[in-house]
Amino acid sequence: MTYSKPLIDDIFGGIRPAARALDKAATTIQGWYDAGTIPQKHWNDVIKTAKEFDHHLTPDDFFPVKSPDASSFGYPFEKRHCLSIDDFHRPDIETLLSLGEHYLDLNVQKNPDRSVLKGKTLINVFFENSTRTEKSFELAGKRLGADVISMQIASSSVKKGETLLDTAATLNAMNPDILVVRHGSSGAPALLSQKVSCSVVNAGDGMHEHPTQALLDALTLRQAFDGQIDGLRIAICGDILHSRVARSNVKLLNMLGAEVRLVGPPTLLPTDADRWGVDIFHEMKTGLKGCDVVMMLRLQLERMSGAFVPSKREYFHFHGLDRTKLGYAKDGALVMHPGPMNRGVEISSDIADDPDISLITQQVETGVAMRMGILHALSEAQDRSKGANR
Ligand code: ASP
C-alpha cells in the first residue's frame, strides 16, 4: 500500500526539495518513503504546502486508490490460466477488459494500491526473445506488488539440454503463483500448465496464440473508439500464416462483434483461414476498403524456411502500408502493429510515427495495464479457489 513516494515525487520532485518545502529533515521524508504512507499528523502541512506547488490535495489522496475485485464487474472470474482466447467466454473478456481499463486510469494516479499481488511470485519464462512483452509483464507484476523474476534463457538449463518437463518441475519447486511463458512451440505453455500447480499465462507460443496481445489490442480499440468494437471493420494484414497475434485477434475481435478481414498474399495466408469466420483478400486496395482499423503484422522471417515473398522491396510495394494504401481505408482510419516493426517492409515510418493515425505507442502503454488486469484476475481466482478448498 505504498503511495508516499509517488505523491511526494510528483508534487515536490524528490526527498530534498520536499524536505526544504515542508521544513522537515530529509530523514523524515525518507521515513515516509520507507513506510509507504505519510503519518496523519502531517497531512495538513502537506496539503497546505502542496497548494503553493499548484497541487490541490484532499485527505483522500492519503489513502491508496483501491483496485476493485474482478467479481465486482458482475461476473466471477474463475479461470486458472490464460492460454488461449478459446478458454474465455464473453463475460470473462468483459471482466478482463474492465480491469485493464481500471489499471489504465490507476497507472496515472499518484497513489495507486500496490498490494493486489503482494506476497505472490511471478516468474517470466521466455524461451523465445522478447522486449515488449517480457518487460510489460515485469512492470505489471511489480506495479501490483509481486516478487518478479525473469529467467534468462541463454544461461538457463534449457540450453544445456533440459526438457520442457524438467524445467516445469524445477520451476514448480520454486513455488511461483504465476508463470508467464513464451515458447517457440505451439502448445508448450498448455503442456507446462498441466505439470505445475500455479497459473500459467501464454505470452506467445509458436504460431498458435498470443492471447494477452489480443486483449491489449481490444483494450486499445475500446479506448480509441469510445468503448465500441462491435461493428468496426478491421483488416489484419501481412504475414498471417506465421502470426499468433492474428490467430488470437481473429478469435477475440469476432467474439466482440467486429467485422474482421485478412489481407495478404496467398503464400502468407493459412490454408484453413476460410474457416476462421473472416473475409479474405489478397490486395490491399480491395481489402482495406471501408476499414476503420488497419492492423499490420511483421514479416516473420525467422519462422520461414524458404522464400515466401520475392523480396522485401517488392513486398513493401504490394503489401506494405504507406499513405496511398491507407487512403483505400475509411477516412480517419487508425493503424496498429504489435511490434517489433520492420520499417519499410510492412509499414512506412511515415505512418508508424504519425500520432494522428498510429495507435502503436498506445498499444505498448495499454499492454502494461491490460497485463495488470490479467494478473489481478488470475490471482483473485486463485485466492477464491484456495478459500473454497479450505
Ligand atoms: N511480438 C509479437 C509476437 O510475439 C509479434 C511479432 O513478433 O511479430 O508474436
Rounded to the nearest whole angstrom, what is the distance from the C-alpha of residue 15 to the centroid of ligand 1?
41
pLDDT of residue 153: 66
Say if ligand 1 is within 6 A of residue 298 CB: yes
Say if ligand 1 is within 6 A of residue 247 CB: no
Cβ-based burial of 64 (10 A; exposed 0-12, middle 13-18, buried ≥19): buried
* Residue among 30, 35, 40, 39 at smallest CA distance from 9: 30
Rounded to the nearest whole angstrom, what is the distance from the C-alpha of residue 246 to the centroid of ligand 1?
10
Nearest atom of ligand 1 to the alpha carbon of 128: 4
pLDDT of residue 157: 61
Rounded to the nearest whole angstrom, what is the distance from the C-alpha of residue 237 to the centroid of ligand 1?
14
CB atoms within 10 A of CB 55: 16
pLDDT of residue 71: 72
Cβ atoms of 273 and 281 within 8 Å: the answer is: no
Rounded to the nearest whole angstrom, what is the distance from the C-alpha of residue 37 to the centroid of ligand 1?
40
Cβ atoms of 238 and 264 within 8 Å: the answer is: yes
Q: At what angle do helices 43-52 and 15-22 cross, to 10 degrees?
A: 100
Q: What is the pLDDT along the chain (390 residues), one digit of tens a residue?
A: 457 887 898 899 999 999 999 999 999 999 988 877 888 889 889 999 999 999 988 887 877 677 778 777 767 899 999 999 999 999 999 999 999 999 998 887 767 778 899 999 999 999 988 889 999 999 999 999 999 999 866 555 666 667 788 888 888 999 999 999 999 999 999 999 999 999 999 999 999 999 999 999 999 999 999 999 999 999 999 999 999 999 999 999 999 999 999 999 999 999 999 999 999 999 999 999 999 999 999 999 888 776 777 789 999 999 999 999 999 999 999 999 999 999 999 999 999 999 999 999 999 999 999 999 999 999 999 998 887 665
Say if ligand 1 is within 6 A of residue 245 CB: yes
Q: At what angle do helices 15-22 and 26-35 cross, to 10 degrees?
A: 120
Pocket-testing residue among 212, 243, 296, 299, ligand 1, by greatest number of atoms within 8 A of Cβ:
243
Say if ligand 1 is within 6 A of residue 143 CB: no
Pocket-testing residue among 133, 207, 298, 364, ligand 1, by greatest number of atoms within 8 A of Cβ:
298
Q: Cα–chain-centroid distance for residue 248? A: 13
Rounded to the nearest whole angstrom, what is the distance from the C-alpha of residue 183 to the centroid of ligand 1?
12
Say if ligand 1 is within 6 A of residue 208 CB: no
Judged by DSSP in three states, 355 sits in coil
Please tell me the distance from the alpha carbon of residue 113 to that of residue 111, in angstroms, as a whole number. 7
Residue indicated by cell numbers 484532499: 58
Complete edge-to-edge strand list for the sheet that includes strand 293-296: 279-281, 259-263, 233-237, 293-296, 334-336
Nearest atom of ligand 1 to the alpha carbon of 245: 9
Pocket-testing residue among 128, 132, 208, 213, ligand 1, by greatest number of atoms within 8 A of Cβ:
213
CA 222, 101, 90, 280 torsion-angle sign = positive
pLDDT of residue 106: 87
* Residue among 214, 202, 250, 210 at smallest CA distance from 81: 202
pLDDT of residue 117: 95
